[in-house]
Amino acid sequence: MEVWFTENQTPSVRLGLKVKSILHQAMTPYQELMVAETDAYGRMLVLDGAVQTTVMDEFVYHEMITHVPLMIHPHPQRMGIIGGGDGGAVREALKHPSVEQVHLVEIDAEVVRQAKRYFPEISVELDNPRTQVHCTDGIEWVRQARDLDVLVVDSTDPVGPAVGLFQPEFYQSVADCLGEEGVMVAQSESPFLEPEVIQMVVQGMRTVFPVVRLYLAAIPTYPSGFWSFTLGSKGPLPGPADLSRAKFATRYWTPAIHEAAFALPQFVEDLIR
Ligand code: SAM
């Protein structure tokens, strides 16, 4: 008998993945957490029915949400990651020798626990001495944080505890916690299926940051496979990446991709005009 996992991505679009086995399924205090072994994409983390990460395509998301802001900041040392309890963004951040400290702020301790258990290749740096894990609400944490160089919002969709991470008040707190050349990035969903989320994030960030840019990446298990990130910068402009700093291995991010990702199709330009 074949078993299929279905994600209702919108009321009229579904993603179907053939599942070999379900390894874990439980309610946490915040959400329903499932880990399954899929045929096509390997092990998969699902929260409230939405795919968060799969072993096969996670590198695209984690490299693009991390290396782009870290390469734009001239000398990133202190970084915060809101959400991201799987640890993929931490793993990428620690490839940068200048990064001395990464604060991972994940509201749901169970995500961190199950990531360590089922996704060792993704959560590999969570116990690194340069990583500090805080299991608390990122909105509150950002309010009292100061002097960060880069802040990454690696959140779930704007529902439940993540709603506040998409509001202008949150972007103001982020700007306040960043230093003079601070850079933030938030995952901002798909231009095909959630254009209104992109508009909300871009407009919200524009009320706070002098520089706001959208960039794109191909992530097959996310709705439509065509994903956006929104970057807000207090100073540095996204420009050509300094090759000499990129002395680490990546599978998606390259200096050429870094620049090309900011080239937007006309319909996306129109969306954020
Ligand atoms: N890559 C993923 C995606 O776009 O589908 C996101 C992965 S990561 C697992 C998202 C995490 O954000 C979840 O583990 C969730 O618990 C966390 N989260 C949601 N709201 C949060 C908040 N207010 N503070 C901190 N973490 C939050």
pLDDT in tens, 138-149: 999 999 999 999
Q: Ligand 1 within 6 A of 138 CB?
A: yes
At 109 the pLDDT is 98
> Whole-model pTM?
0.97
At 243 the pLDDT is 75
Q: How far is the CA of 271 from the centre of ligand 1 (A)?
A: 25
Topology, domain 58-236+251-259 = Rossmann fold (3.40.50)
Q: Ligand 1 within 6 A of 83 CB?
A: yes
> 40 pairs with which residues across the strands?
none
In the CATH hierarchy, which top-level class contains the domain 3-54?
mainly beta
Structural domain boundaries of the chain? 3-54, 58-236+251-259
Distance CA 43, CA 206 (A): 37
Distance CA 269, CA 273 (A): 6
Distance CA 18, CA 184 (A): 36
Radius of gyration, CA atoms only, the chain: 17
- Ligand 1 atom 19, closest CA: 162
Query: Do 3-54 and 58-236+251-259 fold alike per CATH?
Result: no
| Arithmetic mean of pLDDT over the chain | 97
pLDDT in tens, 7-55: 999 999 999 999 999 999 999 999 999 999 999 999 999 999 999 999 9
At 133 the pLDDT is 98
Q: What is the DSSP string of 193-228?
A: T-HHHHHHHHHHHHTT-SEEEEEEEE-TTSGGGEEE
Distance CA 173, CA 232 (A): 13
Q: Are 199 and 271 in contact (CB under 8 A)?
A: yes
> Quick one: average pLDDT of 237-259?
90
Q: Ligand 1 within 6 A of 154 CB?
A: yes
Q: Are 73 and 225 in contact (CB under 8 A)?
A: no
Active site residues: 154
pLDDT in tens, 77-130: 999 999 999 999 999 999 999 999 999 999 999 999 999 999 999 999 999 999
Q: Ligand 1 within 6 A of 111 CB?
A: yes
